[in-house]
Amino acid sequence: MNYEKAEKRLSDMSEKEALSDYDYEFLNEIAHGDDMCLKCDTADLLIDHTTKQAVEILKMLSNDNDATVRASAYDNMWVFETQDFDGILRNAVANEKDGTARSYAIFSLYDLYSENGCDTAGLIDFMYKLYRTEKDRRCKLQYLRNFYLSGETDKLSEIIAYLEDEDYRMRITAVNTISEIRNKGNNDVLLSALKNRLKAENSEAVKASIKKFVNEVEEI
């Protein structure tokens, strides 16, 4: 498969309100292929097409040998019906070996329940059991995000603490997480925490991430 032509077709498909059977055949071909980038782009495309064909392709991508492809598949499952991906995401949260992919499954599973108006009490219990033994910081942060969104407001300070992580990539993840959980009730606290972090931050990438958040908030 020619990469440039495939990317052009994916780009054209992203403009469509609905995909044809021919389009899904093409996406299925990509899912069975070897190109990781095309597979990730396919997963991203399907977030706008919650059809049975899309479900089957995302299921296939979630079993891919490449962890980046699996992460992309998990990342785009939350907009579908709960029954479509509840089992797959629960299994990924509990058993996915790659930390980054697992972190995507953690937030996507919670958002799948939230988006479909499902009760999350049992889900939070399930996640707490795994949180207690989780070692990956990316995953722990996503668990804290979910706990906070479920009503455990005391978790806010633990989320903010990740702004001090020694790994600049984790600090960027913390900024992104803070952006997701921001609301009128916590806005001032989060804005203050990020401005304070900006004063001490050495990473240009983290600075850019913080400045983007601050500018967006202050423009509202």
Q: What is the pLDDT of residues 20-73, one digit of tens each?
A: 999 999 999 999 999 999 999 999 999 999 999 999 999 999 999 999 999 999
Instruction: Quote the longest CA-to-CA distance of the chain.
Output: 53
Distances 84 to 63, 70, 131 between C-alpha atoms, Å: 15, 16, 24
Q: How confident is the model at residue 18 (pLDDT cuts 50, 70, 90)?
A: very high
Distances 163 to 124, 166, 167 between C-alpha atoms, Å: 24, 9, 10
Start-to-end C-alpha separation, the chain: 45
pTM: 0.94
Half-sphere exposure of 85 (CA within 13 A, CB side): 37
Q: What is the pLDDT of residue 219?
A: 79
Contact 107, 142 (CB under 8 A): yes
Q: What is the pLDDT of residue 220?
A: 62
Q: What percent of the chain has pLDDT over 90?
A: 96
Q: Looking at this protein, which amino acid is placed at residue 209? A: S
Helical ranges in 62-203 per DSSP H: 67-75, 82-95, 99-115, 121-131, 137-149, 156-161, 168-181, 187-200
Burial of 165 (0-12, 13-18, 19+ CB in 10 A): middle
